[in-house]
Amino acid sequence: MLEELRTQQLERIQIRGQWMKSYNFPVPPVIKEILDKTAGESTSWRPLWNGENEYQVTGPLGHFVVNMRTRRCTCRLWQISGISCVHATSCILKIRHPLTDYVPPYYSRISMSALYEHVLYPINGMENWPRNSDVGFELDPPNTKTQCGRPRKIRREETQVRFHENRVESLQRGPIITCSRCGQSGHNKRTCQNDPRVSTSQRSAPSGAQGSQVPNAQSDPPTQETTGAPSCQPPTTGPSSRNVRKAQRCGRRKTAD
């Protein structure tokens, strides 16, 4: 983009510099247009001279005081822009002075031609620049150091497929959790609803084997009670207590029915 701007400026300076050589008016065309417009509007204003440097200009918007020595007007436009306002223009035209004599020197044609007297010089394209081998040495790129806290460029974990209990697959970005109670993946110990005494191979068997698990869970607690032997797993805190409670609930429903 900078190269385009430089090329545009190269052409623009040349065109304007050539045009300024044939331009003869004392002020640039933009300033000339403003002066012509102001002179046309100043006809509705009537200046009254006080005998010294000031005028009282009367018009459709009231009275304004113009000081010709300090070049100020109470409308403040003359001292802000440097170009005479309608009130000052009416005074200048009354004393039959050219309006361009009251324009600051930075708006003159000489200043504008001085802007374009210097030109931009053309330069070669990048393919014509001298190479490092021609200079006599080869410049290496600067040494880089990985900044502290900079994020990794390569992801360590890839997206993994997660199998839910209802056999629905979904993509998971984090690590796959494994239950420490039943050994299955996809859930943890808190949400486990499997019987840890059934091995994983039996659980993955066809659905006919699942029906046989429920009677086992129902029949297990009575065997412990009838034998009276100390069980190897405490009945309340053991992993099978959840299934036992489930089986009892099912029993209550049966009795209620």
Closest distance between Zn ion and the C-beta of residue 120, in Å?
Answer: 41
Do residues 88 and 70 touch, judged by C-beta distance below 8 A?
no
Nearer to Zn ion, 108 or 178 (CB): 178
Nearer to Zn ion, 109 or 181 (CB): 181
Nearer to Zn ion, 92 or 182 (CB): 182
Instruction: Tell me the C-alpha to C-alpha distance, in Å, between residue 254 and each of 55, 219, 233, 242.
Output: 114, 15, 28, 19
Q: What contacts 214, CB < 8 A, 6 or more positions away?
A: 247
Q: What contacts 195, CB < 8 A, 6 or more positions away?
A: 182, 213, 216, 217, 240, 243
Do residues 161 and 172 touch, judged by C-beta distance below 8 A?
yes
Nearer to Zn ion, 38 or 112 (CB): 38
Closest distance between Zn ion and the C-beta of residue 174, in Å?
Answer: 18
Closest distance between Zn ion and the C-beta of residue 199, in Å?
Answer: 12
Q: What contacts 68, CB < 8 A, 6 or more positions away?
A: 53, 54, 55, 88, 91
Q: What contacts 82, CB < 8 A, 6 or more positions away?
A: 103, 104, 106, 107
Nearer to Zn ion, 12 or 63 (CB): 63
> Contact residues for Zn ion (CB under 5 A)?
73, 75, 85, 87, 179, 181-182, 192, 194
In whole angstroms, give the CA distance from residue 194 to residue 179.
10
Closest distance between Zn ion and the C-beta of residue 81, in Å?
Answer: 11
Nearer to Zn ion, 27 or 68 (CB): 68
Closest distance between Zn ion and the C-beta of residue 143, in Å?
Answer: 53
Closest distance between Zn ion and the C-beta of residue 1, in Å?
Answer: 44
